Chains A and B, each alone.
Chain A
Amino acid sequence: MNYHWNWGIFWDASPEGAGTYADMLIGGLRITLAVSVLAWMIALTTGSAVGVLRSLPNPWLKRLANAYIELLRNIPLLVQLFLWYFVLPEIVPEAWGDWLKSLRDAPFYTAVIGLGLFMSARVAVQVSTGIAALPRGQMAAGLALGLTLPQTYRYVILPNAFRVILPPLTSETINTIKNSSVALTIGLAELTARARAIQEFSFQVFEAFTAATLIYLVINMIATLLMRMLERQMRIPGYGAK
């Protein structure tokens, strides 16, 4: 292989006019982080709500939650992003479609919502599993004290269920960050897309993707570390590993 290594490439000016190649990566990292954080917030809130619905005794609410989960979990993320980005503007009333197409940061919003909803199905499954893992008497005890059903969820069921599912939620946090790279296919200039752009401008494919790889590794390790700290913070004295 006749490859010309050039690790100094990152300090060269990029052909985009402003800044260096390194600035391109940093810009991509910013977008990756922004998409991941916002999508994760959607995933947590929506996923928790659907997970709670799935745990309720009402069969219709349970079916509704299951339908939501199966739909979003069984269609590939790539296809979902295409559906939101390319298909949705064509099937809504024309005025709305035109508005959607004229949105300046459409790839960004689409990635946040599309990725957020995709991950919410996975969070929903975790949340309802965590609830099901608690002793059934906990619900009875909350209700027996006169707490309403929402209060019982808020003060008894969810605080315990979330403790149970913190470890799997760590994986889902990391999955969200990794999956944000799929958004390059709808034209979002996130980290992977910027690494590719560097390769196309400079032909330094190894340097570009080595840098991207390292950056992903570091942010995911930081995310894992933060979740571990949260787990330690949330640990209940007298329970779990002694």
Chain B
Amino acid sequence: MTDTIIALQNVSKWYNPAFQVLKDCTLAVPKGEVVVVCGPSGSGKSTLIKCINALESFREGEITVDGVRLHEKGVNLPKLRARVGMVFQHFELFPHLSVLDNLDLAQIKVLGRGKQEARTKSEALLHRVELSEHANKFPGQLSGGQQQRVAIARALAMDPVVMLFDEPTSALDPEMVSEVLDVMVKLAHEGMTMMVVTHEMGFARKVAHRVVFMDRGEIVVDAPKDAFFGDVGNERAKLFLSKILQH
């Protein structure tokens, strides 16, 4: 197998004590691949993606991220998380810091970059998400779409080996969805390894290599994009697709 960035082996998780949110999930994301994870709400998609940078714990199974084995004791979590970019549904920019300071903070405090070096990197990334003119504004002065693009830039500033997206467009007004997806598409074309929880099937069609369908904590389908959108061959996935593709 070529470089595997993320490997999940029989991962299970319970919310104490009886409710199982993840059931025996196995999944591998090779370097450079874009994997879209979809499924009905409550199916465990977000929980799964948050296990990958240990924002959520899991009880059984193994998760390996870029060679770091999360299931073993004594893992340096901050060090791991610094290499895994994460974009949240509600952006989660730091409201008391300017856009530039949002991008600088972890570069300086976690990676130990100098102020000037961090700033140069931040400015380049803001240019890339086309927000240079907003560099000195505060998050509260930006639209949702702009905030999410800043959040993507903030994650990229850490030079991550993989980017995780947790429903990055779900909290956006419809007219702002495309500006965020455009940034993500560009990123995918540049070869970034990405795992994206989303209902945006258009995005999946355009850039995904594989689509994973989850239902009730299980990975029900894990198929190449064309197979998934051609004939998925699974009733639950078919039903789900027919519902979200209707309009």
Q: Which residues of A contact B (CB under 8 A)?
A: 135, 137-138, 140-148, 151, 155-156, 159-160, 163, 236-239
What residues on B are CB-neighbors of A238 within 8 Å?
95, 137-142
CA–CA, A238 and B80, complex, Å: 33
Number of A-B contacts (CB under 8 A): 83
Q: With CB as the reference atom, state the residue of chain B lying closest to A146.
A: B82
Evaluate contact between A140 and B95: CB separation under 8 angstroms: no
Convert B33-68 into 0s and 1s, putting 1 for each residue whose CB lies closer than 8 angstroms to a CB of A: 000000000000000001001010000000000000
Q: A141-B92, A146-B81, A239-B140 are in contact. List 17 more A-B contacts (CB 8 A).
A: A141-B86, A141-B94, A143-B78, A143-B81, A145-B110, A146-B78, A146-B83, A146-B106, A146-B110, A146-B111, A147-B78, A155-B105, A159-B96, A160-B94, A236-B95, A238-B140, A238-B142
Evaluate contact between A147 and B95: CB separation under 8 angstroms: no
Evaluate contact between A140 and B88: CB separation under 8 angstroms: yes
Query: Can you list 16 A-B contacts with CB-CB less than 8 angstroms, sorted by A residue number?
Result: A137-B90, A140-B88, A141-B88, A143-B77, A144-B81, A145-B105, A145-B154, A146-B80, A146-B106, A155-B94, A159-B96, A236-B138, A237-B137, A238-B139, A239-B95, A239-B138
- Tell me the residues in window 106-147 of chain B with beta carbons closer than 8 Å to chain A beta carbons: 106, 109-111, 137-142
What residues on A are CB-neighbors of B155 within 8 Å?
144-145
What residues on B are CB-neighbors of A237 within 8 Å?
137-138, 140-141
Q: Tell me how far the C-beta of A237 lies from the nearest C-beta in chain B, rounded to whole angstroms.
A: 5
Evaluate contact between B96 and A236: CB separation under 8 angstroms: yes
B158 within 8 A of A: yes
What residues on A are CB-neighbors of B106 within 8 Å?
145-147
What residues on B are CB-neighbors of A156 within 8 Å?
94
Give the size category of B's interface with A: 20 to 34
Evaluate contact between A160 and B96: CB separation under 8 angstroms: yes
Which of A144, A155, A238 is the most central at the interface, judged by chain B CB atoms within 10 Å of its CB?
A144
Evaluate contact between A147 and B110: CB separation under 8 angstroms: yes
Q: Tell me how far the C-beta of B13 lies from the nearest C-beta in chain A, rounded to whole angstroms.
A: 17
Evaluate contact between A145 and B81: CB separation under 8 angstroms: yes
Evaluate contact between B109 and A144: CB separation under 8 angstroms: no
B79 within 8 A of A: yes
Question: Are A135 and B90 also in contact (CB < 8 A) when A140-B55, A146-B158, A148-B78 are?
Answer: yes
